[in-house]
């Protein structure tokens, strides 16, 4: 693979060619960038015209998957190294065997090295050790991580290295089962000026006995029939959703005290058991607090069609045979539907951890990492003994608004809704008394005083009102509507 010195030369060549995020935006324009995001090159090619300048050559070579005259790259100091590593092939004309995309994060700006995604409607079966580049899934995972500086972080199943580019940690360990993924991740990290301890192996084998403050993973969770030719980046060769289960249970064993595990994955829904109950069986023995959001629910047909198309089988003679094999596999495993979503665990060391499972297909306010962190931080305050809960001061989250719904011209609204304009975007209908108490929470007066004051305004018994609003108020604290004052 590419040597460290050649990675440094390649970085210099890319900078000299103005192959950066801002420079590409200036050269190509929004329509072309949007087209590339849809895997079409037409707008970008038109924006380049017949240009043969260094920037045009870099864009054609690394993004548009087009040949470039070798003479147009003769000034590149990394050229011989790229050829020797097999990343460029050809003589008079050169083609790239990988894709390089400019990429930025809060930590750095650089490039991601991965296999190329087929453009312009081309269909082809990926190689078994295909290394996926930036994707909606990888972007989502980076947004699930609670913000902050971590000591040790584990990027489990690093792929092209994109998560490692986003993790803010003193030490990053990045693992993968695919040796080729580690080769390309090393290029991605090197081009971006970052380092990580890259290790080969399955799941937690490469980090046996080690503990981390953060584990982030988008594992190969696709549930395909055994015996299928596996795509390593998406299929782990486990039965049904057992890989995700092992990621969750094994991750808890590798968390330091207070450490966080974030997982983007899917799980099977089986007859006679709610999905949250099934996942609770995975998580409860770990002793971790957990928040799990099911973002999508797919029937077997939808799920299978997505992944057959992803494997390049749509329109091929094998399509229907593979479709039937998947259906038979799901039927034999008792899989009636597939849930897709987000799993977050915090190693809190509680005797009675907080487990929360929500169907949440609604729009959220990304990044939601802060909302996950707030959920874990709110467990203890929401569980305070009643006297302590009432003597505490609370304040409304700055992203909270109150909405009223009613008939035009009516004196009073029919509904009062508290809605989050942050994080998960939750909303709850509140009665007059609860809304008044929440509205008065500004961090100055103890909650018990506010409850008594609202009881006086409404001319109701203060003790009865306290009993009525206590559980809803605890839920508002747990869900981030109210923060400690």
- Report the distance separating Cα 325 and Cα 319, nearest Å: 10
Assigned CATH topology for domain 384-484: Outer Surface Protein A; domain 3 (3.90.930)
Residue of 14, 113, 117 whose CA lies nearest to 64 = 117
Q: How many residues does the chain have?
A: 485
User: Above 90 in pLDDT, residue 237?
Assistant: no
Share of the chain above pLDDT 90, in %: 87
> Which range is least confidently modeled, 255-259, 313-317, 320-324, 354-358?
313-317
Give the pLDDT mean for 37-49. 94
What's the pLDDT at 228? 65
CA neighbours within 13 Å on the CB side: how many for 224?
A: 22
What's the pLDDT at 114? 97
User: Above 90 in pLDDT, residue 407?
Assistant: no
What's the pLDDT at 410? 61
The ranges of the chain annotated as CATH 3.90.930 are 384-484
User: Above 70 in pLDDT, residue 325?
Assistant: yes
**Cβ neighbourhood burial of 208 (10 Å; 0-12, 13-18, 19+):** exposed
> Which range is least confidently modeled, 8-12, 99-103, 235-239, 364-368?
235-239
User: Above 90 in pLDDT, residue 436?
Assistant: yes
> What are the pLDDT digits (tens) for 454-470?
999 999 999 999 999 99
What's the pLDDT at 439? 94
Task: Specify whether the CB–CB gap between 188 and 115 falls below 8 A.
Answer: no
Q: Looking at the DSSP assignment, which residues form a beta bridge with residue 270?
A: 335
**Cβ neighbourhood burial of 445 (10 Å; 0-12, 13-18, 19+):** middle
> What are the pLDDT digits (tens) for 287-310?
999 999 999 999 999 999 999 998
pTM of the model: 0.94
Tell me the backbone φ, ψ of residue 74, rounded to 5 degrees. Answer: -65, -20
What's the pLDDT at 409? 63
Give the pLDDT mean for 44-66. 95
Q: What is the mean pLDDT of the chain?
A: 94
> Which range is least confidently modeled, 53-57, 105-109, 134-138?
105-109
- Report the distance separating Cα 364 and Cα 101, nearest Å: 27
What's the pLDDT at 483? 96
User: Above 80 in pLDDT, residue 450?
Assistant: yes
The ranges of the chain annotated as CATH 3.40.50.150 are 136-380
- How does residue 275 score in pLDDT terms, banded at 50, 70 and 90? very high
Whole-Å CA distances, 259 to 200, 218, 390:
23, 18, 30
SS (H, E, C) the chain: CCCHHHHHHHHHHHHHCCCCHHHHHHHHCHHHHHHHHCCCCHHHHHHHCCCCCHHHHHHHHHCCCCCEEHHHHCCCCCHHHHHHCCCEECCCEEEECCEEEEEECCCCEEEEEECCCCCCCCCCCCCCCCCCCCCHHHHHHHHHCCCCCEEEEEEECCCCCHHHHHCCEEEEEEEECCHHHHHHHHHHHHHCCCCCEEEECCCCHHHCCCCEEEEEECCCECCCCCCCCCCCCCECCCCCCHHHHHHHHHHHHCEEEEEEEEEEEEEEEECCCCHHHHHHHHHHHHCCEEEEEEEEEECHHHHHHHHHHHCCCCCCCCHHHHHHHHHHHHHHHCEEEEEEEEEEEECCCCCCCCEEEEECCCCCCCCCHHHHHHHHHHHHHHCCCHHHHHHCEEEECCCEEEEEECCCCCCCCCEEEEEECCCCCCEEEECHHHHHHHHHCEEEEEHHHHHHHHHHHHCCCHHHHHHHHHHHHHHHHHCCCEEEC
Share of the chain above pLDDT 70, in %: 98
| Tokens matching residue 226 | 């055994």
**Cβ neighbourhood burial of 312 (10 Å; 0-12, 13-18, 19+):** middle
- Report the distance separating Cα 280 and Cα 262, nearest Å: 16
- How does residue 411 score in pLDDT terms, banded at 50, 70 and 90? low
The helix-helix angle for 21-28 and 30-37 (nearest 10°) equals 110
Q: Looking at the DSSP assignment, which residues form a beta bridge with residue 82?
A: none
- How does residue 128 score in pLDDT terms, banded at 50, 70 and 90? confident
What's the pLDDT at 104? 87
Residue of 323, 473, 450 whose CA lies nearest to 383 = 473
**Cα angle at 260 between 379 and 481, to 5 degrees?**
35
What's the pLDDT at 126? 82
Task: Specify whether the CB–CB gap between 478 and 422 falls below 8 A.
Answer: no
Superfamily of domain 136-380 in CATH is: Vaccinia Virus protein VP39 (3.40.50.150)
Give the pLDDT mean for 128-142. 92
């Amino acid at each position: 693979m590419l040597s460290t010195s050649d990675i440094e030369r390649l970085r210099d060549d890319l900078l000299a060619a103005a192959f950066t995020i801002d420079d590409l935006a200036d050269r190509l324009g929004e329509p072309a960038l949007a087209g590339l995001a849809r895997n079409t090159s037409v707008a970008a090619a038109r924006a380049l015209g017949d240009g043969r300048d260094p920037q045009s050559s870099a864009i054609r070579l690394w993004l548009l998957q087009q040949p470039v005259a070798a003479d147009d790259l003769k000034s590149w100091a990394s050229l011989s190294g790229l050829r020797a590593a097999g990343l460029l092939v050809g003589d008079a004309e050169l083609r790239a065997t990988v894709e390089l995309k400019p990429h930025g994060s809060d930590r750095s700006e650089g490039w991601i090295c991965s296999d190329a995604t087929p453009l312009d409607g081309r269909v082809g079966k990926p190689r078994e050790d295909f290394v996926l580049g930036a994707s909606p899934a990888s972007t989502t995972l980076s947004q699930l991580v609670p913000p902050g500086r971590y000591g040790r972080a584990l990027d489990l199943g690093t792929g092209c290295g994109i998560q490692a580019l986003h993790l803010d940690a003193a030490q990053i360990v990045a693992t993968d089962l695919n040796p080729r993924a580690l080769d390309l991740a090393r290029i991605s990290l090197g081009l971006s000026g970052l380092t990580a301890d890259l290790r080969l192996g399955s799941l937690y084998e490469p980090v046996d006995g080690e503990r981390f403050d953060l584990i982030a993973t988008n594992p190969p969770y696709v549930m395909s029939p055994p015996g299928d030719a596996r795509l390593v980046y998406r299929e782990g060769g486990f039965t049904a959703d057992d890989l995700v289960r092992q990621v969750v249970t094994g991750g808890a064993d590798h968390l330091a005290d207070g450490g966080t595990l974030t997982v983007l994955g899917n799980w099977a829904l089986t007859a006679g058991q709610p999905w949250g109950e099934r996942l609770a069986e995975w998580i409860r023995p770990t002793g971790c607090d957990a928040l799990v959001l099911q973002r999508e629910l797919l029937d077997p047909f939808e799920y299978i069609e997505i992944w057959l198309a992803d494997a390049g089988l749509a329109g091929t003679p094998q399509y229907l045979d593979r479709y039937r094999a998947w259906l038979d596999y799901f039927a034999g495993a008792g899989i009636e539907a597939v849930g897709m979503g987000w799993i977050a665990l915090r190693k809190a060391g509680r005797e009675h951890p907080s487990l929360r499972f929500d169907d949440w297909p609604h729009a959220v306010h990304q990044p939601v990492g802060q909302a996950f962190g707030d959920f874990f931080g709110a467990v203890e305050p929401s569980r305070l003994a009643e006297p302590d809960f009432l003597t505490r001061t609370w304040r409304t989250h700055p992203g909270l608004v109150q909405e009223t719904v009613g008939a035009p011209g009516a004196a009073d609204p029919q509904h009062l809704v508290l809605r989050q304009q942050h994080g998960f975007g939750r909303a709850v209908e509140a009665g007059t008394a609860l809304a008044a108490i929440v509205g008065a929470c500004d961090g100055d007066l103890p909650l018990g005083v506010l409850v008594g004051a609202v009881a006086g305004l409404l001319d109701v018994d203060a003790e009865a009102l306290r009993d009525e609003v206590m559980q809803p108020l605890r839920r508002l604290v747990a869900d981030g509507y109210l923060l400690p004052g």
